[in-house]
Amino acid sequence: MDGQKEKLIEEKHKIVVEVKSKKAYVFGGRVEGRASTEFAECLGTITEVIDKNRYRIQWDDGTDTEALKNQLRLSKEPNQKVTWEVVRDHIAPNPPSAYSQVGVVGFRAEEFAIMDTESEDYSHPFFKLLLSLWPGDWRAQLAKMNAAIEHDNF
């Protein structure tokens, strides 16, 4: 694997992805300040939905404020193309604060060494990874879904 990575680094291999802008008043949604407000001509990202009419916004200039829905409008920014270049190692000097607490703790890559699903040693690593990244309490969500199915079937 190291040889493959080294070859990609030497070739300055790039990966291009088109990222669709979130066009909703939700976490991660892109907004602009309305012209008649103190946020006029500002672009930012919703980092917290406080209630249906109040949001915490991290503006592109780095400031962080609360704003009311009537002070904002959804951004009309086109989808962005993001390009990554394969490098040896990189730690961002200033990661975006909206995502600074996102990650997986205790991830063990060696669990992915056995991919034979028929093997007694297969430990379902993709399922474990999915559950560790699942938003919210999956057990509570599953119980609620099962209760709704039971209710509809009886």
**Over its length of 154 residues, how does the chain's per-residue pLDDT go in tens digits?**
577 888 888 888 888 888 777 778 888 888 999 999 999 989 998 989 999 899 999 998 889 999 999 999 998 877 777 788 888 777 777 766 665 556 666 667 777 777 888 888 888 888 888 887 788 788 888 888 888 888 888 7
Percent helix / strand / coil, the chain, rounded to 5: 30, 25, 45
Query: Quick one: CA dihedral 136, 137, 142, 147, positive or negative?
Result: negative
The count of residues in the chain is 154
The rounded distance, in Å, linking the Cα atoms of 41 and 137 is: 38
- pTM value is 0.43
Tokens, residue 153: 């079937």
